Amino acid sequence: MHPLERLAELRDTREAARRGPDPAATDRQHDKGKLTAHERLDLLLDGGTFTEVEPFRRHRATGFGLADRRPHSDGVVTGWGLVHGRTVFVYAQDFRMFGGALGEAHAAKIHKLMDLAEAAGAPVVGLNDGAGARIQEGVTALAGYGGIFRRNTRLSGVIPQISVILGPCAGGAAYSPALSDFVFMVGGIAQMFVTGPDVVRAVTGERVSHDGLGGAAVHAATSGVATLSHEDEESCLQDVRFLLSLLPANNRELPPVQPSSDPPDRPGDALIDLVPADSSRTYDIRRVLAVLADDGEFFEVQPAWAANLVCALARLGGHVVGVVANQPAHLAGVLDIPASEKGARFVRFCDAFNIPLVSLVDVPGFLPGVDQEHGGIIRHGAKLLYAYCGATVPRISVVLRKAYGGAYIVMDSRSIGADLAFAWPTNEIAVMGAEGAADVIFRRQIAAADDPAAMRQQKIKEYRAELVHPYHAAECGLIDDVIDPRDTRPVLIRSLEMLRAKHAELPQRKHGNPPQ
């Protein structure tokens, strides 16, 4: 055969692999409101930068009619491309072939891609749209999942791993996203669960829809599995691109610096009015973050779950930081079980990938209640404490208003290793609020007074003047400075610049044993 004929054959075979074995399958995919694997790659990657790996791979199974169904690519497209000019490895399951189900060859392609990502030191993104293990291939399909999970774990904290759920992701398939750093889902088309509605109904008698059991809204707001939920694939993949622009390629690099036209010394005049001096009044901490961040932009993680704690990536002076902030607009900003888990994982991620931490503190304490205590608030709260104490990246905390009790300690106080701690003049750092403290310390005097109410107010005033005034913690050396709120952005940027070369060593050990 002439070389030109071979080239034509190559072109035709490659095009056929992209089209899929059944032209009607593409129409069915579109009819469901879903894009094809290649259409998704076109949205995720910079135009014309995708290089495919093993496009002609086919399975070798022969049973149950598979011998006559051997499409090229075996239901998953793998390769690498650029996002904002930086290398990213990606695999995209193709639901048009075997419903995206994973077989031996399918898994081998993903293994190869993850190994390449490790070798190159670049992020890996998985676009999931598959019906679980390929039943016709039996145990070899299950072993394929095991290989993915093992690599997910080995690469944890080494390169960023992002899972995007764009269709069904059931059974064992759900555990790879669970091992990823971030999980994105699209409402209406994405579902993720270990056992489906039919099994749930058969075993428990509960009737639930696919979306009601494991849809995007459920995992974004109730389970906390999803980082973000989107209404369509386009906005979802744009957010993945935005997230990747904030992350380093691997744990040996610093996050990318993006020059900003937002002046580093810009004062935050709006902060005076945004945060009420009265600690009992509410406000939205995200508005504070918008004032502090370059151009008001930030990427919030899990905004619908554990909303009493805001975790976000932002830039200050062009450099990426991770922000952990109490949210007074939800549950008064208390720490509870979900918030502690959310904060702990975010802190550990930032520390693994050299992202400095800024903590904005306005916390009245841990959420009291029988449910919280019986649910293990002690061990769950310890997760956030453990994460902060083990973090070696630059760490700065700013107390905006109240910081009471153990929650003050846990929110990266100086005593657990924050490099710098600042406070606004409205800060109240104490074991508890003045009202509660007076009720405990002066209980007998108040009860014996002719006018208990007047005596209580007097003792509250005394306690506040002695221990809850803005400068007590500074006098004790637990606050480095009390700053004008309007200077917060310049102070943070200067401080982070000073800490950029920070180097800290942890004791030699195989690994720690974090609370579970």
Name the residues annotated as catalytic. Answer: 171-172, 406-407
Q: Answer yes or no: are the C-beta atoms of 122 and 159 closer than 8 Å.
A: yes
In the β-sheet with 228-230, what is the strand arrangement from edge to edge? 51-53, 76-83, 86-93, 124-128, 161-165, 182-186, 228-230
Helices (H), 257-404: 271-274, 285-292, 337-352, 370-374, 377-390
Decide if 310 contacts 323 (C-beta within 8 A): yes
Q: Under 8 Å CB-to-CB from 196, ≥6 apart: which residues?
A: 170, 210, 213
Task: Count Cβ atoms within 10 A of the Cβ of residue 163 and give its class: 0-12 exposed, 13-18 middle, 19 or more buried.
Answer: buried
Give, in degrees to the nearest 5, the angle at Cα 46 between 44 and 52: 75
Tokens of 271: 């902060």
Q: Which residues contact 404 (CB under 8 A, 6 or more apart)?
A: 363, 364, 365, 428, 429, 430, 431, 432, 433
CA 5 to chain centre: 50
* Token representation of residue 130: 């598959």
- Contact present, 83 and 246 (Cβ < 8 Å): no
- The Cα 29–Cα 372 span in angstroms is 45
Whole-Å CA distances, 507 to 122, 385, 390, 452:
28, 18, 10, 54
Closest to 332 (Cα-Cα) out of 308, 306, 311? 308
- Token reading at 135: 């039943």
Inter-residue contact 196 to 213 (CB < 8 Å)? yes
Pairwise CA distance, residues 149 & 144, whole Å = 9
- DSSP annotation of 219: I
Single-letter code of the amino acid located at 236 = C
Distance of alpha carbon 157 from alpha carbon 387, whole angstroms: 14
